[in-house]
Amino acid sequence: MTAIKHALQRDIFTPNDERLLGIVNVCKAGKKKKNCFLCATVTTERPVQVKVVKVKKSDKGDFYKRQQTWELRDLTEVDAKDASKENPEFDLHFEKVYRWVASSTAEKNSFISCIWKLNQRYLRKKVEFVNVSSQLLEESVPSGESQSVAGGDEDALDDYQELSTREEQDIEGMMEMCEYAVSNAEAFAEQLSRELQVLDGANIQSIMASEKQVNILMQLLDEALGEVDTIEGKLSSYEEMLQSVKEQMDQISQSNRLIQISNTNNVKLLDEIQFLVNYMDLSKGHIRALQEGDLTSPKGIEACINASEALLQCMNVALRPGHDKLMAVIQQQLLFAELRDTFARRLTNHLNNVFVHQGHDQSSTLSQHTAEMSLPKHSPLHRDLLRYSKLMEWLKNTHREKYEGLSRTYVDYMSRLYEREIKDFFEVAKIKMAGTTKEAKGKFGLHGSSGKLTGSTSSLNKLTVQGSNSRRSQSSSLLDMGNMSASDLDVADRTKFDKIFEQVLSELEPLCLAEQDFISKFFKLQQHPTVTPPLAQPETEEADGGMSSRIPPQAEHRQSLSSEKDLVRLMMNKIFQSIETELNSLIALGDKIDSFNSLYMLVKMSHHVWTAENVDPASYLSTTLGNVLVTVKRNFDKCISGQIRQMEEVKISKKSKVGILPFVTGFEEFAELAETIFRNAERRGDLDKAYVKLIRAVFMNVEKVANESQKTPRDVVMMENFHHIFSTLSRLKISCLKAERQEAKHKYTDHLQSHVINSLGQPLEKLNHFFEGVEARVAQGVREEEVSYQLAFNKQELRKVIKEYPGKEVKKGLDNLYKKVDKHLCEEESLLQVVWHSMQDEFIRQYKHFEDLIGRCYPGSGITMEFTIQDMLEYFSSIAQSH
């Protein structure tokens, strides 16, 4: 078995880097015995793989070959069949059960023991060993003959070494020398044992012979040890010397470290001192400027600005930890606080005095500006005060209370000044609107040498129109416009009002813009922030400051911008609190003087609102003008509603013909006036809506008057008025009234046709009745050629009717018709010839229709009318020429 094992290791497993650890000669149970070998192997490379290989001799019998291989980890159970009796059978459970019969029970037990050890060493897998003696399943076995490769312990498995080539050659040479080695192994073993004994004896003799040399070697070792002791002594002395040197060097290093720390501290102390000196030292010149600087001269103001900026920089310096505990720093901070308070007090007192003095100087020029109807310019005051804008910014950052106090003082002073100026300005404007000074005195109760109103501005709000004898311009309406010629429309008065109103707005606009710009610059308030301000007015400054400590910096910045913009608006509202009231009062007066003034005011106010919104949509001027624009638009709507109401209340005379209604001509002149005023207006949409309302009211009331008319036929009233409306809309080309223009044309043509048809039924009345009866018979089913056999419509009856209308009678009837038409039509519209021509066309159409009925219902009768178409044309022409 040993020789077979070596042969298998060499031929099969060595080429595959495997070691053969266990082998058993087996054959399959229950079949014809075909011997093979089951081999337990491990790989030489890690990780170690443990396999069970089935090896079978080839058919030629010369060599062995692998037939099947199983991984040991796939093994689940080993069944030895019987643990107490010798039984060569055993089973291995892989993916299926393999039943084997070993050549001997010893080989089976040795192989199973090898499998158990390999499992314990490499896999630690729970493999069931059934019917196996517990003696086989031990970790270690005693050394001896049983310590073979297959049955040995784990160390033997690891220590196994394959024979080298030289060892194999030596063994083969030895076996060749002993030819009986194979046939008689015992004799060969005895020979080897004897040779081993001979070699052991030779080794012992050699060792004993070398004892002298060993003694010499030991002596040399003793001498070497002595030398080592000497060297160690010298090294100890050297170490003691080095230790003293080391202590001295440590002392020097400690001293150097202390010196370095001292130098570092001195450098840091110098840096701190230089920092405090550089950033917390205020020059004597700055101190003198803050305490005694001249706040009236440009040089003094510049010196105060530089000193205040230096003081603010010193006060805002970021102190390092511990600086605030230094006595020098505390004293310097107290000095800065004292200088700040002193200069803030000086600056506040000076600016208050400047406000008062400038106010007195400004008041002296009020009378001159009032006479010229212009507002005083405050640019000199603004220019003088803007020199202090940087100081105001300093005051805002250092003394918020004094800054707010100054802003309140300025607002209070300016609000009183502007209130006087604006009231005087608007009084003069109202006087000029009402007429010349003498006319205003007589009409509105004005008196005084300067032409001022008797009372406050509100007195003009109570003025009323003085009855029907007052000026026509005070009670404008579409009816008035329709009853008067263009020369009576007081165009000059309206133009004068338009110029005055434009001058008022033109004076207010730069005044407000200049004041708002000055406030933002002087009080250092953000005028054009990038964020959208809130709609609500800001709360108190203290509330805003309290919130700033609880919000993020970015949100705080946005809130600050928004609140400053609201503050500008709030200050402007207080300063110009009388502007909106005065404007509304002026608008009310203009509306009372002439309701159509609302058109001028709407256009002018819309333009100025549009201009102000382009400059700054959120400015005070834009907001105020926008509020006033709402009032103007409301007055405009009220004016339109009043015109419509007057249309609905119109009454016509029952004794005279209607003609063109006054509100129709009034609408024409209103449209001409409105188109002139709104030619380049921004709010064209308001006028378009008013147009639609008015034209609808005109349409409805024209029909109402036509239905109520007793003297003039309804068709004539509708025809004439809608013709006038159509002509007006066609001439003015108002884009929003295209549909109404077409509707007016349609109504005009419809009622013209209706009037013509109704009128032509009179001169040929019997003939019309006769042919209507003929058409009725045909409609009832009587054949056309059989109508002549009807008793009431035979040829004799037809000739009788025709004879009643000879040409002379027809001409006479047409002449009476012309007079009647002329009586109903008005001269302003000049529709007589149009109506007469339409009647001519309709008469010819009826004539041809009568001839066609005669030809179809009375064929071959030779019956014709007493007059021809040419005769009719001559009748119509001669009648028109004669009149």
109-147 tens-digit pLDDT: 999 999 998 888 888 777 888 888 877 776 434 433 333
Please give the Cα distance from 574 to 618 (Å, whole number).
16
50-61 tens-digit pLDDT: 999 999 887 776
pLDDT of residue 489: 43
Q: pTM for the complete prediction?
A: 0.54
pLDDT tops 80 at residue 651: no
793-810 tens-digit pLDDT: 888 887 888 787 777 777
Lowest-confidence segment of 84-98, 679-693, 866-880 by average pLDDT: 866-880
pLDDT of residue 820: 66
pLDDT tops 90 at residue 536: no
Handedness of CA 343, 345, 347, 349 (dihedral sign): negative
418-456 tens-digit pLDDT: 888 889 888 888 888 876 333 433 443 333 333 333 333
Please give the Cα distance from 508 to 750 (Å, whole number).
55
- Residue by residue, DSSP assigns 358-399 as HHHHHHTTHHHHHHTT-PPP-HHHHHHHHTTHHHHHHHHHH-
- Residue 569 to residues 317, 573, 582, 623, 855, Cα–Cα distance (Å): 34, 6, 19, 9, 92
pLDDT of residue 454: 32
294-343 tens-digit pLDDT: 988 989 999 999 998 888 888 888 888 887 788 888 888 888 889 889 98
Mean pLDDT, rounded, for 174-199? 75
pLDDT tops 50 at residue 641: yes
- Kindly give, in sequence order, each residue whose CB lies less than 8 Å from that of residue 462, ignoring residues fewer than 6 positions away: none
pLDDT tops 80 at residue 873: no
- Residue by residue, DSSP assigns 237-275 as HHHHHHHHHHHHHHHHHHHHHHHHHHHHHHHHHHHHHHH
- Would you state the torsion angle of the CA atoms of residues 366, 372, 376, 380, taken in this order, to the nearest 10 degrees? -100
Q: Which DSSP state fits 430?
A: H
Query: Which one-letter amino acid corresponds to residue 163?
Result: L
In this structure, are residues 289 and 307 in contact, taking their beta carbons and an 8 Å threshold?
yes
Strand locations in 773-835 (E): none
Q: pLDDT band at residue 763, thresholds of 50, 70 and 90?
A: low
Full 3-state SS string of 665-734: HHHHHHHHHHHHHCCCCCCHHHHHHHHHHHHHHHHHHHHHHHHHCCCCCHHHHHHHHHHHHHHHHHHHCC
Nearest Cα neighbor of 191 from 179, 203, 208 is 179
- Helix residue ranges, H only, 75-209: 105-118, 154-159, 165-177, 185-209
- Residue 762 to residues 183, 718, 767, 843, Cα–Cα distance (Å): 169, 21, 10, 11
Please give the Cα distance from 274 to 257 (Å, whole number).
26
Lowest-confidence segment of 564-568, 700-704, 831-835 by average pLDDT: 831-835
Nearest Cα neighbor of 577 from 727, 418, 688, 356 is 418
Provide the residue count of the chain.
Answer: 883
